[in-house]
Chain A
């Protein structure tokens, strides 16, 4: 259908529209008109994505003289594919009505792992090894060598792409990752580099959050995007966590060991070059004296992950004299690794501010702040000079340099926590030095500054006034929409007692009580015998889930459950979990029915839908509070209290609420869907501590969505 919102004609690919979609578009248009940021909450299952896409593309069509670019950020690759599929539908509709005028170029962007079509490269196991395998075939020096020696292998897809030069373009259209690969295969061009280049021409780019938020990735991919862009963060309820993770690094024993190995290898390489090609090292030294750490225009294939610090904080000045020479830099790194090793040998938990840590490094290892700050770029330059292609082997030293650069750059918003062992397993020594960021506004600040409109939207953003504080921005529009329901398609329930009338809870003092475990088991057993198709269960943590599954197995409850439905379990192994999910879906498709055990805050809870028959019932065993004894969490809470006046309890409740709402929201994906939701914990109803608000909030948000 085609309709007017004020002066803009909106092309919407369906015959009808939900009222909330319409009001959503109106608010969104206001934000675009005001060229400001906005925060919009609308329950899942109301077609947020299509409303966003159709308004923004229509807005762009309405103003052809200054077309805006849409940068759409998703959390996961499959959400990216779904978004592009919706865009395809919309694009088809717009072309029917407007013809050639509506033509756009929309691409999805991902890593080499998901885009590469070279069978030799893509066979590698993980992303880093795919990246390295690609570099081995495409790095500028490898190609230079291949030009002289035909026996040096190169990537034919990349070579053909290079040969095509400026001719290598994507025709207008909507390209999912799958389409990009297909196009690349057909033309013989490398889809990854093609997509990277098309970023500057594309009207719509769909990619992962990190491509904007993580300075390491954003620095290479999102550098040249114009200010006249609209950035959308979809499903953004966890955006603060993505932001702080992007700036956090941890160092362990294994990291230090690996870094030492890397340094030895680098040292060998330096010696080799000194013997064979001393000129190269000298050339690098001269370049460093002249100014920037890196040569101006690197071939795209040589580009590495960029500096971990945010663009505004990177110094545009010459590398300090004491690390210009390769050997000297190596010495600095060795001292740093040595120092960190000493710090890890602690008996007690230590917490320090970056400033204190810097002083300590300076005293003990003689490395000053500015040197630390340049570590990353200096390492990058050295590795290029040494023509190292197997970058996946050098991740450890890279981590150390990330750490050094971050700690040299930021004095506030971070803390360093050293834990000699995991709180819950004190007998296993496992020291970790964690540099953790507490301030989510740091990473997202450049995005708010650079782009004219940033849209943050999700199904659960309540309390909606908390996000502007956490992310430190001022939205021009901040609205929460409710879902109009024509029938009762959800049935939320709170269960506080088991069949023996004893209260159930995952509260710390109760969770290992065999009575609670048994009651939870009986609850599930009764439900699997009556609920058709798929059932999803969420537990508060992996360790709790493992414990409860083992207990159920010992008591024979698991066996009884299996009499009714097949059981699949989320594990920490992504491949295994993916296969389990795939099997789960097939079991639901064929009518066998299945139960999926999953973890709140896990990958499944974040991104997988259990819509339609894939989830007729969801059970939330317990309240998914964060592990409150975690030192990192405590430090963050303290920071939030001191700097944003957010109370600890409030933040924890808010966090548990959004997780629980996300978990149970998995079963409803559209208004045609229906499902039952059970919250099994006495704290969902008891008016003690802070839970009374929790229940009412969840129920409210449920009635909304």
Chain B
């Protein structure tokens, strides 16, 4: 980290409680500690605290929609539960401090337990480092593994992270793409506040609201671009806009029309939105054909004007003059929902209204270009909708790809196999006679061959009941395990073990998986580096196996059997490994 980042000083007020008005002064932060010096040197509220005692931080959030911003507060809590509250003049100061503390805290968390994070052989950017630290902090299991292997010297930092590229990528991409959408609430919620005495109503606008107004009402957007600041000031513009809104809320089309006739600029806001209508006409061509009611209209001869029966609702009694100024809530709601669905194309960190307006029109141009409809997709969609799925034979059998996310699941299901192999057969399997003498088997085979010779192949060759029985016997353990896990997870053997043993076992399990992952990724052993790595890994594994044995020894007698069952698959892996690696060794050497 560069020098400029190693310390920081901001003006702030120190508060002992939230209600406390606070002592003004200076807050300094270094990598090790933070200090507060009050302006008034006599004040007793001095603070000098090392970061390693600090557990975490809380802060207030900026809410641009609120008229009065909340105070910018930062609250640092120490490990004893005490807290240090600082109020900043503005949110950018708060942000700086927050980021700084965040960095220091994440670092100190690592620092206290681990001397080096970076490895000599790789140059990491700070962002990457932070990401890794964050991941470690979020996932205690990962942190344990990291501590055990990287710090224990079995794996290098790079090796450890190389198998977790996905995790890193995902985190990184998440950051880049997440973008806040529009609020679901309608804009009509901005109600003006009147002071009660005069006839004046005050509206307050934030960039957020302005962007939403522009997005939902392209006419206002265009008017802003053409009127401000040449023709009128921004304030006048919005005054006119809200005047129009208030007029509309009276729902009196005649009055609206009259007002619009008097004021040409105001009329822009009062008229129906022509841009929207054009846009609608353009969009209608790309609409899903299964909902295209416009095409019906074009086909429907009873809807010639004045033909058919006038039904409730289909009648519109308005003079065309006033029609221009009529607007209803349904349209607004539809428009709002469409804009929310489209999502936000512009990031609002812009303070300036003009900048927002321009950014929005730029993003619209881009959208306009990417406007290509594909007939093929339409057709595919229709045929997909028409087909009756359940009348088809299913072409591909429903298979779930194997994916062991949580080792615990795998662990639990293994335990049933272990039970079975130990001869502890479940009831239901016992009826099947498993042992046949060679004679009997041979005789049975001969019988069936001669039966086929006589009668030819029967259809079906194997009686369904028998097939079912065999299948059932073979899959019994799988289904019962599933049953056990699915129905009452608390009854799994793992959970009957003492908590400490369970955790240890689980930890060893994840460790072995981690090591195995590296172990197998090293093959073929083409370099001495890999060879060394593998042997290191093997040592580490055998250590774990020893620990497993220890666990077996330490648990109480009634659990011992179960633990050994649990441990067995891990051992099996080991024996398999060691035999295999020996072969490989030989190959490399040979």
Query: Which residues of A line the B interface, CB within 8 A?
Result: 14-18, 47, 50, 76-78, 81-82, 85-86, 88-89, 110-111, 113-114, 126-128, 130, 176-178, 182, 208, 210, 214, 216-217, 242, 244-246, 248-252, 255, 305, 395-396, 399, 402, 422, 425, 428, 430, 432, 434, 436, 541-543, 546, 549-550, 553, 558-559, 562-563, 566-569, 571-583, 585-587, 590, 592, 594, 597, 599, 601-604, 607-609, 611, 626-627, 630, 632, 670-672
Residues of A within 8 A of B466 (CB): none
A96 to chain B, nearest CB (A): 15
| B contact residues, total (Cβ < 8 Å) | 63
Candidates B189, B291, B298; contact of A582 at CB < 8 Å: B291
Q: Give the CA-CA distance A242 to B309 in the complex, in Å.
A: 10
Q: A18-B391, A78-B295, A542-B312 are in contact. Are A571 and B383 (CB under 8 A)?
A: no
Candidates B293, B307, B328, B333; contact of A578 at CB < 8 Å: B293
B272 to chain A, nearest CB (A): 11
Q: Give the CA-CA distance A224 to B341 in the complex, in Å.
A: 50
Q: Would you call B300 an interface residue if the criterion is a C-beta within 8 Å of the partner chain's C-beta atoms? A: yes
Q: Give the CA-CA distance A402 to B301 in the complex, in Å.
A: 13
B291 touches A182 (CB 8 A): no
Q: Give the CA-CA distance A208 to B390 in the complex, in Å.
A: 29
A562 touches B392 (CB 8 A): no
Q: A576-B334, A586-B341 are in contact. Are A88 and B301 (CB under 8 A)?
A: no
B414 to chain A, nearest CB (A): 34
Q: Give the CA-CA distance A127 to B387 in the complex, in Å.
A: 31
A607 touches B341 (CB 8 A): no
Nearest A residue to B384 via CB reads: A85
Known interface pairs A16-B391, A178-B379; 10 further A-B residue pairs with C-beta atoms within 8 A, sorted by A's residue number: A16-B390, A114-B295, A130-B298, A208-B300, A395-B304, A395-B305, A434-B310, A543-B313, A571-B334, A581-B288
Query: Which residues of B line the A interface, CB within 8 A?
Result: 184-186, 188-189, 280-281, 283-284, 287-302, 304-317, 328-331, 333-334, 337-338, 340-341, 375, 378-379, 382-383, 385-393
A632 touches B393 (CB 8 A): no
A583 touches B338 (CB 8 A): yes
Q: A127-B297, A553-B329 are in contact. Are A585 and B288 (CB under 8 A)?
A: yes
Candidates B185, B298, B375; contact of A563 at CB < 8 Å: B185
Can you pick out 25 interface pairs between chain A and chain B where the beta carbons lie within 8 Å of each other?
Answer: A85-B383, A126-B298, A244-B309, A395-B304, A395-B306, A432-B310, A434-B310, A436-B309, A559-B185, A559-B186, A562-B185, A563-B185, A566-B184, A568-B333, A571-B330, A571-B331, A572-B313, A576-B334, A578-B293, A579-B283, A579-B334, A581-B291, A586-B341, A601-B311, A602-B313
Q: A575-B280, A587-B337 are in contact. Are A111 and B379 (CB under 8 A)?
A: no
B388 touches A583 (CB 8 A): no
Q: Give the CA-CA distance A176 to B379 in the complex, in Å.
A: 10
A76 touches B338 (CB 8 A): no
Nearest A residue to B308 via CB reads: A245
Task: State the majority secondary structure of interface residues on B.
Answer: helix
Residues of B within 8 A of A608 (CB): 290-291, 293
A549 touches B330 (CB 8 A): yes
Residues of B within 8 A of A578 (CB): 284, 287, 291-294
Candidates B298, B308, B315, B386; contact of A127 at CB < 8 Å: B298
Candidates B293, B341, B383; contact of A89 at CB < 8 Å: B383
Residues of A within 8 A of B185 (CB): 559, 562-563
A583 touches B341 (CB 8 A): yes
Residues of A within 8 A of B314 (CB): 572
Q: Give the CA-CA distance A567 to B337 in the complex, in Å.
A: 6
A256 to chain B, nearest CB (A): 10
B310 touches A250 (CB 8 A): yes
B552 to chain A, nearest CB (A): 48
A592 touches B329 (CB 8 A): no
Q: A550-B329, A575-B294, A583-B341 are in contact. Are A81 and B308 (CB under 8 A)?
A: no
Q: A395-B305, A542-B312, A670-B388 are in contact. Are A78 and B317 (CB under 8 A)?
A: no
B397 to chain A, nearest CB (A): 15
Q: Give the CA-CA distance A14 to B389 in the complex, in Å.
A: 9
Q: Give the CA-CA distance A451 to B309 in the complex, in Å.
A: 27
B388 touches A47 (CB 8 A): yes
Residues of B within 8 A of A671 (CB): 390
Q: Give the CA-CA distance A395 to B307 in the complex, in Å.
A: 10
Residues of B within 8 A of A559 (CB): 185-186, 189
Q: Give the CA-CA distance A89 to B382 in the complex, in Å.
A: 12
Q: Give the CA-CA distance A601 to B311 in the complex, in Å.
A: 10
Residues of A within 8 A of B330 (CB): 546, 549, 569, 571, 597
Residues of A within 8 A of B338 (CB): 579-580, 583
B392 to chain A, nearest CB (A): 6
Residues of A within 8 A of B317 (CB): 422, 425, 428, 430
B337 touches A574 (CB 8 A): no
Nearest B residue to A433 via CB reads: B306
Nearest B residue to A432 via CB reads: B310
Residues of A within 8 A of B302 (CB): 210, 214, 242, 245-246
Residues of A within 8 A of B316 (CB): 572
Q: A541-B312, A603-B293 are in contact. Are A399 and B305 (CB under 8 A)?
A: yes
Q: Which of A402, A563, A580 has the most CB of B within 10 A?
A: A580
A670 touches B390 (CB 8 A): yes
Q: Give the CA-CA distance A434 to B307 in the complex, in Å.
A: 9
Q: Give the CA-CA distance A432 to B334 in the complex, in Å.
A: 32
Q: Give the CA-CA distance A226 to B184 in the complex, in Å.
A: 58
Nearest A residue to B342 via CB reads: A583
Q: Give the CA-CA distance A583 to B296 in the complex, in Å.
A: 19
Candidates B283, B309, B340, B387; contact of A632 at CB < 8 Å: B309
Residues of A within 8 A of B393 (CB): 15-16
Candidates A127, A176, A248, A597; contact of B309 at CB < 8 Å: A248
Nearest A residue to B390 via CB reads: A672
Residues of A within 8 A of B293 (CB): 76, 78, 574, 577-578, 581, 603-604, 607-608
Residues of B within 8 A of A113 (CB): 295, 298-299
A252 touches B289 (CB 8 A): no
Residues of A within 8 A of B283 (CB): 579, 582
Q: Which of B287, B289, B312, B393 has the most CB of A within 10 A?
A: B312
Q: A571-B334, A579-B287 are in contact. Are A249 and B392 (CB under 8 A)?
A: no
B388 touches A249 (CB 8 A): no
Residues of A within 8 A of B386 (CB): 82, 85-86, 89
A359 to chain B, nearest CB (A): 24
Minimum-distance CB pairs A-B, first 6 = A113-B298, A14-B391, A542-B313, A245-B308, A77-B295, A569-B330
Q: Give the CA-CA distance A202 to B289 in the complex, in Å.
A: 24
Residues of B within 8 A of A430 (CB): 315, 317
B296 touches A603 (CB 8 A): yes
A418 to chain B, nearest CB (A): 12
Q: Give the CA-CA distance A395 to B308 in the complex, in Å.
A: 14
Q: A126-B298, A255-B306 are in contact. Are A543 and B312 (CB under 8 A)?
A: yes
B298 touches A562 (CB 8 A): no
Nearest A residue to B283 via CB reads: A579
B247 to chain A, nearest CB (A): 17
Q: Give the CA-CA distance A670 to B384 in the complex, in Å.
A: 13
Residues of A within 8 A of B340 (CB): 566
Candidates A81, A573, A583, A587; contact of B289 at CB < 8 Å: A81
A245 touches B388 (CB 8 A): no
Q: Give the CA-CA distance A436 to B341 in the complex, in Å.
A: 44
Residues of A within 8 A of B382 (CB): 81-82, 85, 176
Nearest A residue to B388 via CB reads: A47
A672 touches B389 (CB 8 A): yes
B186 to chain A, nearest CB (A): 7
Candidates B186, B312, B391; contact of A627 at CB < 8 Å: B312
Residues of A within 8 A of B305 (CB): 255, 395-396, 399
Q: Give the CA-CA distance A604 to B291 in the complex, in Å.
A: 9
B289 to chain A, nearest CB (A): 6
A394 to chain B, nearest CB (A): 12
Q: Give the CA-CA distance A611 to B296 in the complex, in Å.
A: 20
Candidates A549, A550, A579; contact of B284 at CB < 8 Å: A579
